[in-house]
Structure 1
Amino acid sequence: MNGLQRLPGRYTDRHGAQDVVFESDGRELIRTTIRGVRFEGESMDALGALSGEPPAEMFRFLDGDLCSCLLEWEVPLRVDVAGRDTRAGVLRCALRLGDPGPAPHRGLDEQSLTVALRLDGHTYGGPAGHDDFEAALYDIQHRLPPGARLRACVACAWSDYSPAGHGLMAGLACFRDAKDRYRRVDGKHGPHGIFALWPERTEQVQETHLCGEFEPRGAHGGYRGPFP
């Protein structure tokens, strides 16, 4: 998938709900317009107003990022099904961003991601929330019928996370331009560690992204391990 995707969505807060469109390049750009205000960020939990924070009565923010709301959106997601080629599914996502917590902790009192995959008339996904897209997509993969595998960067042979950790989404590094070296990754440190290879990553992408060099993740799991 190349270019800018337009993802149908919905924004809800204490003032009400509004249908919106999220635009994303599948990498580290997400933007939308809510109540006439333009928002942009690298992740759905890091959307900031481009023109500075609007009046407090319109939205709530924590450290410049939108909060106290529910964001919902849909993402196309392909699935390889044995004997039936590749099928087109839709990933339905809901991210609840709570209120700023009391000082001095300065975090949200709640943040929960719920996803469900609609594929061939069936829905795969659980009601429980997840911390990030990695965990959510692992859960969906385990719920798919035998022979069905997600066809997305999270399930690709050339993707990995930094040992330093990652956030909600879009922290997945692609090593498609360093395949031979990535095949030899055997841990964090040393000549074949992920830290040594990290500067050679091609780009960072969202877990649901897909490019033409996708290959299913096999026995070699790089640093993060196999999928699922």
Structure 2
Amino acid sequence: MSALSAWPGRYTDRHGAQQVVFESDGRALIRTTIRGVRFAGETMDGLGALAGEPPEAMFRFCDGDLCSCLLEWQQPLPVDVAGQGPRAGVLRCALRLGDPLPPPRGGLDGQSLTVALHLDGRTYGGAEEHDDFEAALYGIQHRLPPGARLRACVACAWSDYSPAGHGLMAGLACFRRTKDRYRRVDGKHGPRGIFALWPALTEFVQETHRCGEFEPRGTHGGYRGPFP
């Protein structure tokens, strides 16, 4: 297992609020403990109890995942600034998970994500509600001053999304082990399409993850296009 990062945060529901710590490997694992119960999942909107669902009086669930609550956390997110190198930024996130809808419809009655980047005494973003981290981070990048770029997988030359779509987070495919082939991707279908390369992806990562092979996304846009 990769080293885990600790993100300080808070859990709030109808019973009150509690300070928590979210642990993540930056890829497909997030876990935390709330009111003595261990939760884990691949994304923040997919956290399930590890030992079976506790009594409904303690939490609410939708298809086995936490709902009817507010999850807040902060995590480091460096920003490359021209002439200064990488600067330490802090990403503050809030995910509101609505109430479960009755069958046969199912699902939640709403879900919203707000994200703000705090960098060198200024705040970028935070007011708009987003469906996923891709949209939230695109919005932040557009607000950064000229010459400043997020240093994260969402802005990396070797990452792309499936044409079939993706969820809140962690659905970003990394192609760092097939860089030459990825450079030739020019769309969805055909011998140079993203579908042809998809089985060779290295792994799935969170948009805010980064590794030692990070390179800024340039003019080659792969399937999803440039960033931002």
User: Separation in 2 of the partners of 1:186 and 1:75?
Assistant: 34
Return the letter of the residue paired with 2:124.
Answer: Y
Match of 1:178 in 2: 178
Alpha-carbon distance between aligned partners in 1 of 2:221 and 2:103, rounded to the nearest angstrom: 41
Q: Hey, what's the Cα distance between the residues in 1 that align with 2:4 and 2:102?
A: 38
What is the match of residue 120 of structure 1? Answer: 120
1:130 aligns with 2:130: yes
Q: Distance in 2 between matches of 1:126 and 1:49?
A: 29
Counterparts of 1:101 and 1:78, CA distance in 2? 39
Matched residue SS, 1:139: helix
Three-state SS of the structure 2 residue aligned to 1:10 is strand
Ranges of 4+ aligned residues in structure 1 off by more than 2 Å: none
Query: Does residue 14 of structure 2 align to residue 14 of structure 1?
Result: yes
Residue matched to 2:139: 139
Shift of 1:83: 1.1
Identity %: 83
2: CA distance, partners of 1:103 / 1:72: 29
Matched, 1:52 2:71: no
Deviations for 1:168-212, whole angstroms, at most 9, x for unmatched residues? 000000000000000000111111010110111111000000000
Q: 1:63 and 2:77 equivalent?
A: no
Unaligned 5+ residue runs, structure 1?
A: none
Q: Tell me the equivalent position of 1:192.
A: 192
Q: TM-score, normalized by length of structure 1?
A: 0.98
Alignment of 1:151-162 (within 5 A): 151-162=151-162
Instruction: Tell me the distance in 2 between the aligned counterparts of 1:126 and 1:169.
Output: 17
Q: Which amino acid in the other structure matches residue 115 of structure 2?
A: V
Q: How many correspondences in the alignment?
A: 227
**Matching residue of 1:205:** 205
Structure 1 equivalent of residue 226 of structure 2: 226
Measure, in 2, the Cα distance between the counterparts of 1:141 and 1:153: 13
Q: Which residue of 2 aligns with 1:96?
A: 96
**Residue 105 of structure 1 corresponds to which residue in structure 2?**
105
User: Residue 126 of structure 1: CA displacement?
Assistant: 3.7
Structure 2 residue aligned with 1:27: 27
3-state SS of 1:70 partner? strand
Between the aligned partners of 2:80 and 2:60, the Cα distance in structure 1 is 41
1:150 offset after TM fit, Å? 0.3
SS at match of 2:135: helix
Shift of 1:100: 0.6
- For normalisation by structure 2, the TM-score amounts to 0.98
**In structure 1, distance between residues paired with 2:225 and 2:212:** 22
Unaligned runs of 5+ in 2: none
2:149 partner amino acid: R
Task: State the Cα RMSD in Å.
Answer: 0.7
Output the CA distance in 2 between the equivalents of 1:64 and 1:104.
16
